[in-house]
Chain A
Amino acid sequence: MRSRSRPAPDPSPWLFIAPAATYLLLFFGYPVVKNLVMSFQQYTIRTFYTGAAPFVGLRNYSTILSSDLFSKALLNTVLFTAASICGQFVIGLALALFFQRSFPLGRVLRSLLLLPWLLPLVASGTTWRWMLDTDSGVVNDVLRHLHLLPSGVPWLTGTSQALVSVTLINIWVGIPFNTTILYGGLQNIPTQLYEAAKLDGAGPVATFRHVTWPLLRPVVSVVLVLGAVYTVKVLDIILLVTGGGPANATETIATQSYELSFQQFEFGRGAAMSNVLVVLSLVFAVGYLRANRRATSV
């Protein structure tokens, strides 16, 4: 179209993309392929000394899939992801609706809310771990002072409580992200629609049901799917707060993969385990692409 005004020596447009594309291939493409290959090999402690990692077919997969920890880790991953998403979304939406009103300091408060999401997980995880200590943690201190639970809750030492605790921490981390995106979605809803609903005599609940929710739907599906994709691979929080314990109560597919590779140096099994994680992510990825398509077509 513009060929007439084009100056002579001009780098091909692909040269602009090539460096980034090469980087992405090296640091995402290669690991995915390498991981697939490694999952069919047997790595031991000696491998890095001798360099011998024989191919063993599907044995790594059969070992990890048949281990009694696998089903527990899978269940934990699903529970952790589902509960995190629900919690983050519901609270995030409530806060987004709240901040949609205009009030003094509203903007400042809204941006300060982002802090939990921006802090290094190591810093917040360490703090939480200490706050949730059964005997000397501040959370149980408060519960005791309010005479709610004199004995305190074994947040990190009870097998059922520990998973709840790490989930709550992950919700805490994820709320700001959800609030921000949903708030952005809310801002895009034309004000006239609210005014029209008001004229029709609709209350706040009816307005939410008939105006806000339908128009927010595309953003909602993107938030949910993206949240799931990010949550399923969460590793740092669990590693920092419970280390997968007590009694493996907070082991997930991601922590298992880390332990196999970097604690036991069974890189083959670790790779197989992380491929399970990739498959889980892919399931959500398909959902994401679908949701994205729906969002752009609306």
Chain B
Amino acid sequence: MKRAPNRGWPSTIVGIVLLALMLFPVYWMVNASLQPAGNLLRGDWFPFHPDFSGYRTALRDQGGNLVTSLVVALGSVVLSLSLAAPAAYALARFPLRGSNLVLLGILITQMVPSIVVANALYSAYNDLGLLNSYLGLILADSTAGVPFAIIVMRSFMRSIPREIIEAARVDGAGRLRVLTAVVLPMSANALITAALFTFLFAWSDFLFALTLTTTQTVRPVTVGIYQYIGASTDHWNAVMATAVLASAPAAVLLVLAQRHVAAGAAGGSVK
């Protein structure tokens, strides 16, 4: 990166102002979560006297839902990556005749609205007994993760030098062995990016959680918040505290894995 520090700082200030505007709702969410209980019709601009009772209420009411979300999101990561990694490898490295068709199919999946999937899955799940189950939600939530992971990993695996793979093949390694011993370790970055986004997709899912669960047994935090809004008008701080807790994974991952997030945002979309 080139640097021009002399004329840089004014730009930094402009940048900070722009960012502050864009992130104001995030600040407001945090601020509201730290206000004392009671209806928030008279909230302050700053949490001068931060009150954590909202978080206590939120953890009491929504703690289980947060765990549910975590289980579903991790399950979706495992499922998506184990389906997508071999497929991405095959699409990237094998000269298959139908592979363009498969790629076209993956692109088409991006056009299918989730409500179409939810409509059909509801009655199918009803017959199969998959409503209100972790497995059902993991399977449905992976509809966002699997195509994305294939696209991201495929474009990365294409950039692995051919010589390395051929060398392994000459040594007698089979295709599966090449994938597990050579390609996957080299694609760690792409795997992390794919895992990160798959996690966030499943974690943030609202529509499937809303339509494919009917009881409280398996309830992700997104639906928890949605029902919280209608239910506890006198506990707005707890509602906002839950929103903050639900946002935490995104914020933490963004800070810890900046590079992967940026790579995923660009990589998954264009190709």
Contact = CB atoms under 8 A, between A and B. Distances in A.
Contacts of B179: 16
Given A24-B106, A109-B16, A119-B26, A35 B243 contact: no
By size class, the interface of chain A is 35 or more
A170 interface: no
B22 A104 contact: no
Contacts of B67: none
Interface string A268-287: 00110011011001101100
A31 B112 contact: yes
Interface string A89-132: 00000010011011111111111111111111111101111110
Contacts of B115: 233, 235, 254, 257-258, 261, 270, 274, 277
Interface residues of B, number: 103
B232 interface: no
A136 interface: yes
Given A103-B15, A106-B15, A116-B23, A24 B203 contact: no
A110 to B, nearest CB: 8
A10 B175 contact: yes
A118 B169 contact: no
A112 B111 contact: no
Please indicate which of the listed interface residues A27, A32, A232 has the most CB atoms of chain B within 10 Å of its own CB: A27
Interface string B193-208: 0000000100110110
A28 B244 CA distance: 33
Interface of A: 2, 5-7, 9-11, 13-17, 19-21, 23-24, 27-28, 30-32, 34-35, 38, 48, 95, 98-99, 101-124, 126-131, 136, 138, 172, 175-177, 180-181, 184, 219, 222-223, 226, 229-230, 232-233, 235-236, 239-240, 254, 257-258, 261-262, 267, 270-271, 274-275, 277-278, 281-282, 284-285, 288-289, 292, 295
Interface of B: 1-5, 7-9, 11-12, 14-16, 18-19, 22-23, 25-26, 28-29, 32, 40-42, 82-84, 86-87, 89-91, 94, 96, 99, 102, 105-124, 126, 139-140, 142-143, 146-147, 150, 166, 169-170, 172-176, 179, 200, 203-204, 206-207, 210-211, 222, 225-226, 229, 236, 239-240, 243-244, 246-247, 250-251, 253-254, 258, 261-262, 265-266, 269-270
